[in-house]
């Protein structure tokens, strides 16, 4: 029972990382109807920037927030400059640009920082200040950070005018433009926010997984599984899906398939959802008219 609780809780903790990245993916998907396959690599690259800052002597949290600004700018840049020429192009072109970005960020990170694994600091104390031994302090901190991120994003979209404008731009670009919302900038802002959320996921994952250019490959897969499970057009569903995938992955890894088939669990989740409930647990079922 203790071991089970331990696995469950640490599944929740890693699920938080998947939830953050899934949220980032869905935010982009909602406004552009494209899956940003480069989202994981953007997060990985941002995490390298954080590593550089920490190496340069910045205190952790300063480096953390500077990285968020960088990741935000990177997201805006990708949306407003790299994706601009294919804005009205076919689905295929956009996917290809995302794949190109994935490859470029991966190789540039390898180019600058080499492929050797690097340790990344955790901002949380090494000694548990609480009684239980189920979770490491970093895992507890990770959960806290995830909850703060989710709360902030929720509050932003729910209570601010800008958040409302962004939701409007995603839901109905034409009408939004008519009432004076600059839709292009709203999309860019969404992409920037997604980049920053992804960077948080990267910085939280790096102390556990160690920093290397392929670090986010698996996480992106789990995040995709989470997004599909929760419903790819529902941010909160996707975040919950991410947490669920984290739990399922951990429990399945501990009791069913062993650690070496964990990625396959994500693949099975994706294929399973597509077979039985394509709209996901909380997604809308879209009926198209001829």
Binding site for another protein (CB under 8 A): 29, 33-35, 37, 82, 85-86, 88-93, 95-97, 99-104, 106-108, 110-111, 115, 217-218, 220-221, 224-225, 228, 232, 258, 260-264, 266-267, 270-271, 274-275, 278, 288, 290
Closest CB 156 distance from another protein, rounded Å? 26
User: How far apart are CB 220 and another protein at their closest, in Å?
Assistant: 8
Rounded distance between C-alpha atoms, residue 136 and residue 128, angstroms: 7
CB of 29 or CB of 64, closer to another protein: 29
Calpha distance 193→172 (Å, rounded): 20
* CB 264 to another protein: min, Å: 5
Tokens of 163: 């958040």
Nearer to another protein, 93 or 136 (CB): 93
Residues 6+ apart with CB under 8 A from 155: none
How much is the CA Rg of the chain, to the nearest whole Å? 19
Contact 41, 105 (CB under 8 A): yes
> 129 vs 285, which CB is nearer to another protein?
285
- Quote the least distance from Cβ 107 to another protein, whole Å: 4
- Shortest Å distance, C-beta 150 to another protein: 23
Pick 118 or 138: Cβ nearer another protein: 118
Torsion, Cα 242 218 36 146, to 10 degrees, reads: 40
Smallest CA-to-CA distance from 227 within 157, 281, 149, 146 is with 281
Structure tokens at 208: 């556990």
Look at the block and give the residue holding tokens 């160690």.
Answer: 210
The helix (run of H) or strand (run of E) holding residue 221 is helix 216-230
User: Least distance (Å) from another protein to the CB of residue 25?
Assistant: 10
Closest of 235, 280, 268, 205 to residue 15, by C-alpha:
205
CB nearer to another protein: pick between 106 and 146: 106
CB-wise, 133 or 288, nearer to another protein?
288
**Minimum CB distance to another protein, residue 121 (Å):** 25
Q: Which is nearer to another protein, 179 or 275 (CB)?
A: 275
Residues found in the chain: 290
Q: What is the distance between the alpha carbons of residues 190 and 167, in angstroms, rounded to a whole number?
A: 9
């Amino acid at each position: 029972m203790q071991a089970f609780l331990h696995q469950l809780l640490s599944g929740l903790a890693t699920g938080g990382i998947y939830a953050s990245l899934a949220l980032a993916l869905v935010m982009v998907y909602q406004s552009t109807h494209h899956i940003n396959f480069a989202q994981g690599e953007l997060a990985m690259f941002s995490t390298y920037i954080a590593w550089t800052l920490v190496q340069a002597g910045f205190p952790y949290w300063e480096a953390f927030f500077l990285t968020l600004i960088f990741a935000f700018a990177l997201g805006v840049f990708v949306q407003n400059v790299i994706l601009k020429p294919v804005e009205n192009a076919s689905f295929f072109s956009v996917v290809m640009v995302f794949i190109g970005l994935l490859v470029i960020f991966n190789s540039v990170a390898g180019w600058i920082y080499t492929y050797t694994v690097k340790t990344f600091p955790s901002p949380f104390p090494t000694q548990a200040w609480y009684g239980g031994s189920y979770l490491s302090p970093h895992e507890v901190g990770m959960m806290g950070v995830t909850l703060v991120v989710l709360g902030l994003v929720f509050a932003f979209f729910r209570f601010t005018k800008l958040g409302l404008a962004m939701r409007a731009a995603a839901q109905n670009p034409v009408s939004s433009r008519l009432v004076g919302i600059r839709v292009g900038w709203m999309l860019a802002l969404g992409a920037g926010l997604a980049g920053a959320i992804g960077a948080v996921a990267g910085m939280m994952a790096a102390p556990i997984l160690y920093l290397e250019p392929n670090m986010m490959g698996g996480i992106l897969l789990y995040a995709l599984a989470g997004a599909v499970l929760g419903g790819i057009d529902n941010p909160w569903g996707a975040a919950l899906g991410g947490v669920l995938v984290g739990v399922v992955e951990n429990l399945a890894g501990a009791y069913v398939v062993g650690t070496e088939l964990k990625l396959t669990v994500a693949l099975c989740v994706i294929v399973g959802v597509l077979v039985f409930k394509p709209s996901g647990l909380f997604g809308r079922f879209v009926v198209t008219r001829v």
